[in-house]
A and B are shown apart, each in its own frame.
Chain A
Amino acid sequence: MSRHSLCGSFCFELLATLLRGFCTVKNFKFTRQHLLFSLMLVAVLLLPFVTDALLGRGWVRIVDFAMLYIMLALGLNIVVGYAGLLDLGYIAFFAVGAYCYALTGSPHLALAFPMLFPDGLHLSFWLVVPLAALLAGGFGVLLGAPTLRLRGDYLAIVTLGFGEIIRIFMNNLNAPVNLTNGPQGISRIDPISVAGVSLNATQDVFGITLPSVHLYFYLFLGFAALVVFVSHRLEKSRIGRAWMAIREDEIAAASMGINTRNLKLLAFAMGAMFGGVSGTLFAGFQGFVSPESFSLMESIMVLCMVVLGGMGNIYGVILGGLLLALLPEILRHSVVPLQQALFGKTLIDPESLRMLLFGTALIVVMLYRPAGLWPSRVRRRELESDETTV
């Protein structure tokens, strides 16, 4: 392993170590790519402040939600993009994670088991995250196991059913024991705190005043970075290659010594884990969960992010997640004022326009960019030609 001693500064060292994870250049040199990456990092770090100043605090919250969607899309990308298993019930894992924290981090359990937990079970968020990841992963295997022989449309139908089953369970598990509080959902979920500092209040960090939404943004950013890191490492590994081989041709993959059963289950479990972790973040951020957040429409939305952005490409999926999470909000804020200005009254409701634009966007993308807005191969080609010219 080659050591680089370009700069003695600890910060740079740290950044360089991080960067090395993202590039396979052996002898580390601060190339244009790294400069670009650093600039992007600074831009992302400043994003909540810029958004706050330009658009208002409400938009920072919207950006926070976009981060959650990006994490979800990256999780689904493992199942759909890498392993090629069409999953239409992905939001179920998000629900599992969210309810996991909602139950263990709120006074709600006092209702179901007053003897056992008189005040509810207030587990630390950081304890619930690995638990939720494991539980969601377990559900992933549970969904994967009976569907091993299915592909394409048939798999989509079963996973769709699974997603609905989870949602209906959440909706109805308020009797005989009130576990999920049914359609009313669970409220008063503990806010997430980092090192004893609650993220639900404005905090001063190093003399900078950070409102709650900003704090959550940085937390989500950290988790999203972790998810990107894991996806990236998996993609460029023996496991990732095996997944792609299964996606391309399952019979040939099996004949090349790939245990297709285990690897498909692994893909389901990994994807579900990402979903579960984002679910806990969602529950902590909202302070409230109810079954209606986990409808089929949400699953389809996340799938659209993956497909629109570029299946199997991390950057494409991030782009897709960002676009589709922000688009409805942009419409909501622009369509009504625009119509008022033009016609003096609101002709089309932004919600219906949203679906119209969505459909159109998907059709256009499928026609002109069937591999997504940012497909994986193009990117790789670019990187390779860069490497040879450098």
Chain B
Amino acid sequence: MSNTLLELSGIGKQFGGLSALSEVSLHIRRGEIYGLIGPNGAGKTTLFNVITGLYQLDAGKFNFNGHSYQTAKPHVLAQAGIARTFQNIRLFANLTALENVMTGRHPRTQAGVFGALLRNRRTRDEERASTERARELLRYVGIAKAHQTLAKNLSYGEQRRLEIARALATDPLLLALDEPAAGMNATETESLKALLQDIRSTGVTVMLIEHDVKLIMGLCDRVAVLDYGRKIAEGVPEQVRRDPAVIAAYLGADDE
């Protein structure tokens, strides 16, 4: 098993004449927390959509866990072990928190129509295991009490946590979080940070897009910076923070 979990080389994605991503190469090692930052419109979410199969890439190579996924559909990538959350929370609003997480068990369970109709021992065992795992995950992210609440009735912070629980239910190798701390206050961010560190300690690799610099600096092992669809810097947070190209991207360069 190689030490590299995700390897992107020369990724390009175009929308009409706009080049949303060009020549983006990066690799994520197993067990690390990898941050993706950059100004608005830099292509961070586009990159997420590429690695979760929502967009098909136009150029480059995409290897995950030793396999190539050039033209894979989202459910194939979820099956392969990439789970994600969304920048603008996308829960199943009219399902309960528990059902939301149970839906995440889909790629790791088997029961088909006949299983559902016969409800044989195997299906019942599987169903029980799914429920059990879902409850455990709700407890893990700290919203066990809300398991029968409809997702739309949860508070904003709870929804963010539920989305993480749902993603974890797919038993991911790589958990991709799109701005998990957006809209959170300092205390909430702090507990999110603890949660993510804990998730990493269970062996799940974490990749996150974030604007909260403090969170990124305190949490990530390595950080990549995107600007106008290109990777302009990569490295440990301290080093990236001092990179002139990064400073220029965020504050604007004054030497031209």
Contact = CB atoms under 8 A, between A and B. Distances in A.
A234 B117 contact: yes
B86 A252 contact: yes
Interface stretch (B12-20, B90-98, B199-207, B232-240): B90-98
Contacts of B161: none
Given A254-B75, A255-B74, A234 B116 contact: yes
Q: Which of A233, A257, A259 has the most CB of B within 10 A?
A: A257
B123 interface: yes
A257 B115 contact: no
B90 A252 contact: yes
Interface stretch (A107-115, A147-155, A243-251, A336-344): A243-251
A234 B115 CA distance: 9
Contact of B103 (A253, A270, A377): A253
A242 interface: yes
A256 B111 contact: no
A240 B90 contact: no
Interface in B88-146: 90-95, 99, 102-109, 111-113, 115-117, 119, 121, 123, 126-127, 130
Given A245-B103, A255-B52, A257-B170, A239 B95 contact: no
Interface in B142-172: 148, 150, 166-167, 169-170
A252 B52 CA distance: 11
B52 A241 contact: no
A255 B177 CA distance: 13
Contacts of A241: 95, 99, 102-103, 106
Contacts of B170: 256-257
Interface string A252-266: 111111111000001
Given A244-B92, A249-B92, A238 B75 contact: no
A383 to B, nearest CB: 11
A234 B75 contact: no
A237 B111 contact: yes
Contacts of B115: 237-238
B48 to A, nearest CB: 10
Interface in A197-241: 230, 233-234, 237-241
Which of B94, B115, B121, B150 has the most chain A CB atoms inside 10 A of its CB?
Answer: B94
Contacts of B167: 256
Main secondary structure of the interface of A (DSSP, over half): helix
B79 interface: yes
A260 B74 CA distance: 10
A249 B91 contact: yes
B73 interface: yes
Contacts of B83: 255-256
Contacts of A238: 105-106, 109, 111, 115-116, 126-127, 130
Chain A contact patch, size range: 20 to 34
B78 A256 contact: yes
Counting contact residues on chain B (CB < 8 A from A), the size range is: 35 or more
Interface in B65-88: 73-75, 78-79, 83-84, 86
B54 interface: yes
Contacts of A377: 94, 150
B166 A256 contact: yes
Contact of A254 (B73, B91, B119): B73
Contacts of A254: 53-54, 73-75, 78
A233 B170 CA distance: 23
B91 A257 contact: no
A257 B92 contact: no
A273 to B, nearest CB: 11
A244 B73 CA distance: 20
Interface string A303-327: 0000000000000000000000000
Contacts of B74: 251, 254-255
A224 B33 CA distance: 54
Contacts of A252: 86, 90-92
A245 B116 contact: no
Nearest to B94: A248
B233 to A, nearest CB: 29
A242 B78 CA distance: 14
Contact of A258 (B75, B90, B119): B75
A259 B75 contact: yes
Contact of B92 (A230, A248, A260, A270): A248
Contacts of A242: 103, 106
A257 B113 contact: no
A83 B103 CA distance: 14
Contacts of B117: 230, 233-234
A254 B75 CA distance: 5
A349 to B, nearest CB: 41
22 contacts: A230-B117, A233-B116, A234-B117, A237-B116, A238-B109, A238-B111, A239-B113, A242-B103, A248-B93, A249-B91, A249-B93, A252-B92, A253-B92, A253-B103, A254-B53, A255-B53, A256-B78, A256-B169, A256-B170, A257-B106, A257-B107, A257-B108
Given A256-B78, A258-B75, 7 more contacts: A240-B116, A241-B95, A245-B92, A249-B90, A252-B86, A256-B107, A257-B170
Leading 10 A-B pairs by shortest Cβ distance: A257-B107, A257-B78, A237-B116, A248-B92, A254-B74, A252-B90, A245-B103, A238-B111, A259-B75, A257-B75
